[in-house]
């Protein structure tokens, strides 16, 4: 069974919201100012520890190193784990590619219940968001 257009569209939106919404920084996250940011609704989750968004924003002012690349992959996986937990897909693969000293691309592959791979490359969304 192949995922319908509506399912693919919904999953694409879910991934974009999960990656590009700022999740509140953890208590032990290093901050470059005194703001933890995050969505206010996460203060009162209906399910314990249920959060929206990613902590990718924490990397906005750090030097692009191998550790930064690993952190970006971790934050992306963390943000998308709910898709597995809630049964929307069987697995999530995060692929990163460092293009130069200032650019890191992330690609997401969702493995759906029937084994179909949904490859999401948010480059176009990122470019619109950050006017690149």
Task: Take residue 130 and report the two structure tokens written for it.
Answer: 């950050």
Angle at 48 between CA 47 and CA 52, to 5 degrees: 75
93 assigned to some structural domain = yes
11 assigned to some structural domain = yes
Q: pTM of the entire structure?
A: 0.86
What is the rounded CA–CA span in Å between residue 19 and residue 123?
A: 12
Per-residue DSSP letter, 10: H
92 assigned to some structural domain = yes
112 assigned to some structural domain = yes
Low-confidence ranges of the chain (pLDDT < 70): 1-3, 122-132
Domain count, the chain: 1
Q: What pLDDT is recorded for position 54?
A: 95
Residues spanned by the domain of 66:
5-19+58-130
């Amino acid at each position: 069974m192949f995922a319908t257009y509506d399912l693919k569209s919904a999953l694409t939106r879910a991934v974009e919201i999960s990656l590009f919404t700022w999740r509140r920084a953890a208590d032990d996250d290093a901050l470059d100012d005194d703001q933890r940011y995050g969505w206010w609704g996460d203060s009162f989750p209906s399910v314990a520890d249920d959060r929206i968004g990613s902590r990718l924003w924490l990397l906005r002012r750090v030097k692009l190193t191998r550790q930064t690349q690993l952190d970006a992959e971790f934050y992306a996986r963390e943000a998308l784990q709910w898709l597995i937990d809630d049964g929307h897909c069987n697995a999530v693969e995060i692929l990163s590619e460092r293009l130069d000293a200032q650019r890191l691309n992330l690609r997401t592959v969702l493995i759906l219940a029937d084994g179909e791979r949904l490859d999401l490359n948010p480059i176009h969304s990122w470019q619109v968001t950050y006017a690149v």
